[in-house]
């Protein structure tokens, strides 16, 4: 199986034994506490679950700048996006202390991790602007990821962490949330060597379904990992529980048995387009996948990125930056001429009118009115799940 990123084995930061957890929680009683923001809490979940291997914790200023400018950690290892604990709070602790980090997404002031404070550093407004522009390609606050980054604050708290739990993800998505360790173990137990990963923050329509099938066939995959984001999204995106039901419905009806693993991970969407596509590749390499499907406007939002910027960026990073390979996908849609879903680049005799294409706005409008989606666009069983959601709103 493919090795984790920058390591011979996964390096999850979750506390592994109940005894150690109890001891840390006991020592936390005398520690100062800090409630982190949702983005930092999601970073902790990813650190705990092994997805951020080989990181040990939150980055300091020099590393954040290096990652933003050069996509490298201080030790030279490839890394595409900052992993930070930023705040605008007044702090009552100092460098060298250990503090208890409180989860903002769970009631009862639950401690999600213990952080050993290495440095407390201020970022100037110009430094924040530079980081944001390099990572997101824009400073426009109408971009949801940009707005989130700016809102986090200008005080950077770096240091290693010991993660105590996976926030709300295990409780709310017990059937779907999986750590990188669990996914690797499942792949190994199935005897799969060549696995294709599909990233999604949306329900899967027929084009997505066929894209997974095409990719699997073309790289001779043993199986497909459908890996959905379960964390925070922008307003208007379909909630994770609805997506989960829709995807499971599709897989149950239209894929061979034991060919698809449906899993999810606890991260808040960055909407960082090309940079986030690279991060998605790191996640899936750490899961043990050989390929990641990168489609049109992967991890994008609005008109901030070109249709294939997220594919092109893989050609600009060093060849040894990642071991996972990329399956570059074109826009995929149902062909009226051929009566099947195709990649548009494969059918140069087609015009736009030869495809069944619906905008997201049109889909939402039809579903909210109780109108059936064309069977060429969405499987009827999947459309029914989505319609129930929209009719409730």
Query: What is the Cα gyration radius of the chain?
Result: 21
Distances (CA, A) of 8 to 53, 83, 286: 10, 21, 10
d(CA 291, CA 199): 11
Distance (Å, whole) CA 99 – CA 97: 6
Pairwise CA distance, residues 144 & 269, whole Å:
9
Angle at 127 between CA 123 and CA 133, to 5 degrees: 130
Please give the Cα distance from 390 to 393 (Å, whole number). Answer: 5
- Please tell me which residue in 160, 194, 202, 248 is annotated as part of the active site: 202
- Rounded to an integer, what distance in angstroms lies between the CA atom of residue 380 and that of residue 374? 8
**Torsion, Cα of 148, 152, 154, 156 (10° steps):** -120
Q: How far apart are alpha carbons 197 and 271 in whole angstroms?
A: 19
What does the alpha-carbon distance between residue 9 and residue 324 come to, in Å, rounded to a whole number? 15
Annotated catalytic residue: which of 178, 184, 201, 275? 201
The verdict on whether 43 is a catalytic residue reads no
Catalytic (active site) residue 201: yes
Tokens of 64: 């954040």
Nearest Cα residue to 230 out of 45, 33, 30, 71: 45
Cα–Cα distance measured from residue 51 to residue 44, given in angstroms and rounded to the nearest whole number: 10
Query: Of 332, 369, 353, which Cα lies nearest the Cα of 212?
Result: 332
What gap in Å lies between CA 230 and CA 360, rounded to an integer? Answer: 20
Give the pair of three-digit tokens for residue 201. 């923050």
Is-cis flag, bond preceding 54, omega within 30?
yes
- Please report how many Cα atoms fall inside a 13 Å half-sphere around the Cα of residue 55, on the Cβ side: 34
Catalytic (active-site) positions? 201-202
């Amino acid at each position: 199986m493919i090795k984790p990123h920058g390591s011979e084995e996964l390096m999850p930061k979750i506390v592994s034994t109940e005894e150690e957890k109890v001891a840390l929680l006991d020592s936390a009683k005398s520690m100062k506490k800090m409630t982190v923001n949702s983005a930092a809490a999601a970073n902790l979940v990813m650190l705990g679950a092994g997805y951020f291997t080989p990181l040990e914790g939150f980055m300091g200023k020099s590393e954040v700048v290096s990652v933003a400018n050069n996509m490298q950690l201080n030790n030279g290892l490839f890394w595409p996006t900052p992993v930070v604990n930023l705040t605008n709070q007044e702090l009552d602790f100092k460098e060298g202390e250990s503090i208890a980090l409180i989860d903002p997404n769970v009631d009862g002031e639950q401690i999600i991790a213990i952080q050993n404070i290495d440095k407390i550093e201020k970022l100037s407004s110009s430094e924040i602007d530079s980081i944001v522009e390099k990572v997101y390609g824009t400073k426009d606050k109408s971009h949801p990821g940009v707005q989130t980054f700016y809102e986090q604050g200008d005080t950077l708290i770096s240091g290693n962490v010991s993660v105590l739990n996976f926030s709300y993800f295990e409780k709310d998505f017990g059937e779907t949330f999986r750590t990188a360790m669990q996914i690797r173990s499942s792949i190994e137990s199935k005897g799969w060597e060549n696995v294709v990963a599909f990233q999604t923050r949306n329900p899967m329509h027929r084009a997505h379904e066929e894209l997974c099938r095409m990719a699997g066939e073309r790289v001779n995959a043993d199986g497909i990992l459908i890996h959905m984001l379960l964390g925070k999204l922008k307003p208007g995106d379909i909630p994770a529980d609805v997506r989960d039901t829709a995807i499971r419905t599709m897989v149950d009806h239209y894929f061979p048995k034991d060919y698809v693993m449906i899993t999810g991970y606890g991260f808040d969407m960055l909407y960082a387009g090309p940079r986030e596509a690279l991060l998605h590749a790191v996640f899936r390499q750490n899961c043990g996948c050989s390929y990641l499907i990168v489609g049109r406007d992967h991890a994008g939002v609005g008109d901030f990125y070109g249709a294939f910027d997220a594919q092109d960026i893989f050609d600009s990073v060093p060849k040894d930056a990642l071991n996972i390979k990329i399956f570059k996908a074109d826009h995929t849609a149902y062909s009226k001429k051929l009566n099947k879903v195709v990649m548009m680049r494969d059918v140069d005799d087609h015009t736009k009118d030869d495809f069944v294409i619906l905008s997201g706005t049109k889909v939402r409008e039809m579903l909210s009115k109780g109108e059936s989606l064309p069977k060429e666009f969405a499987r009827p069983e999947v459309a029914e799940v989505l319609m129930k959601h929209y009719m409730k709103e």
